[in-house]
Amino acid sequence: MAERSQTAPEAGNDMGNDDAIGGNVSKYMVLPNGYSGQPKKGHLIFDACFESGNLGRVDQVSEFEYDLFIRPDTCNPRFRVWFNFTVENVKESQRVIFNIVNFSKTKSLYRDGMAPMVKSTSRPKWQRLPPKNVYYYRCPDHRKNYVMSFAFCFDREEDIYQFAYCYPYTYTRFQHYLDSLQKRNMDYFFREQLGQSVQQRQLDLLTITSPDNLREGADQKVVFITGRVHPGETPSSFVCQGIIDFLISQHPIARVLREHLVFKIAPMLNPDGVYLGNYRCSLMGFDLNRHWLDPSPWAHPTLHGVKQLIVQMYNDPKTSLEFYIDIHAHSTMMNGFMYGNIFEDEERFQRQAIFPKLLCQNAEDFSYSSTSFNRDAVKAGTGRRFLGGLLDHTSYCYTLEVSFYSYTIGGTTAAVPYTEEAYMKLGRNVARTFLDYYRLNPMVEKMAIPMPKLRPDAEPETSGEMRQAGDSRILHTESAVLRI
């Protein structure tokens, strides 16, 4: 690494001190110190003024090296983890070192081989950088903060390159996904707006079940699933999409689950934070997953809306709220795993362990040994803890965590990096585990595969979308055997 100059940089190259990062860089061209000619190829242009973007400042250390500063979450300087930015105006074969210098966390999967994501305009599929090009270390030049440095060689001059902490999943992508599902007019899929965020973005609520379960007076067994309360935890959205894709498919397991259960899914609890490129907080700087005890309709409107609905269902004698699962991503652990609650009643505590044990048998990336049950004071305002205290002994509340980086397969220590597809596969396996939990496997064997019913006002489906619903990648349907 190059020595950092102790003299002040030239005007135009420094964007203020570390404490003064207020917004994202916008088409910010970095010129060498003392350069006064016309900009040319190789004078890099950085940009993060796009949806879910995050880069607050760029300092050029030398001809090849740049210090990059994450923009803190809006209204909360404590959280600096998520980054997502573009670089353009590159020269072919230009080699650089980027140092991300102001992470708010010290522990990181970068110590275990994780690497940033990259794509470019001519190669639009996200891929991880080679781990050998990534270094994570405590740096004396930055208040002994931990720094993540990575080396990169730009190879195509006309390309715009994009770098991110993990696979992005934006609010707009989510809206387009739900729009495409709505257009299919499935009679077992319902979308409604449960409320709006502070910046007037939609809080979507999905209901997936057989229409018979929604008729007046019908008893309902409800599974309630939420995601993206922490906006930078993008794997949450891929897992949630995997759950949704499976439940709406024509797979025999999905059809049995729709007949017996009502799935309520709020996939994006913090749409403002997602849009703004925050890591943990809402627009106003709140960690929403610490405000379940008393959410404000003004400051935490999405949380307030979801909590109201859950309490309303809890008070409905016809509704049995059986599961609440909140989906997150973890920045220091491998695999998928769960957090559950601790109860004085030993039998209830043991019953709570059943679902994660079944999931462990269905999903090779899910670790029961990493699953834990706690009642830490610091977690008191979370959805899992609050609802675990509110709901009765027939309900189970979990946080489902999945690694930002990788999983290990039983009997090996080799890390298998997660892909978007692997995250969605975990979601599919979460969904199918309900079949084992409710012992509905005999029902699957009786199922033929009819054409899906359309709503009476729907046009016949002619596109390929419906054909894609039967997911041939789903694991076998045999029952997992539970051993406690």
Comparing 382 with 66, which gets the higher pLDDT? Answer: 66
Q: What is the pLDDT of residue 103?
A: 95
Residue of 233, 322, 401, 420 marked catalytic: 401
pLDDT at 435 over 50: yes
Residues in the chain, overall count? 484
Tell me the average pLDDT across 64-72: 98
Q: What is the C-alpha to C-alpha distance for residues 164 and 133, in angstroms, rounded to an integer?
A: 15
Q: What is the pLDDT of residue 1?
A: 46
Contacts of 179 (CB under 8 A, 6+ apart): none
* Averaged pLDDT of the chain: 89
Tell me the average pLDDT across 410-419: 88
Tell me the average pLDDT across 51-65: 97
pTM for the full model? 0.88
Is 459 annotated in the active site? no
Q: What is the pLDDT of residue 377?
A: 59
* The three-state (H, E, C) secondary structure of 248-263, written as one string: CCCCHHHHHHHHHCEE
The percentage of residues in the chain with a pLDDT greater than 90, rounded to a whole number, is 77
Tell me the average pLDDT across 418-424: 98
Angle subtended by helix axes 171-182 and 235-247, to nearest 10:
0
Tell me whether residue 225 is exposed, middle or buried, using C-beta atoms within 10 angstroms of its C-beta: 0 to 12, 13 to 18, 19 or more: buried
- State whether residue 247 is helix, strand or coil: helix
Comparing 373 with 18, which gets the higher pLDDT? Answer: 373
Q: Are 275 and 170 in contact (CB under 8 A)?
A: yes
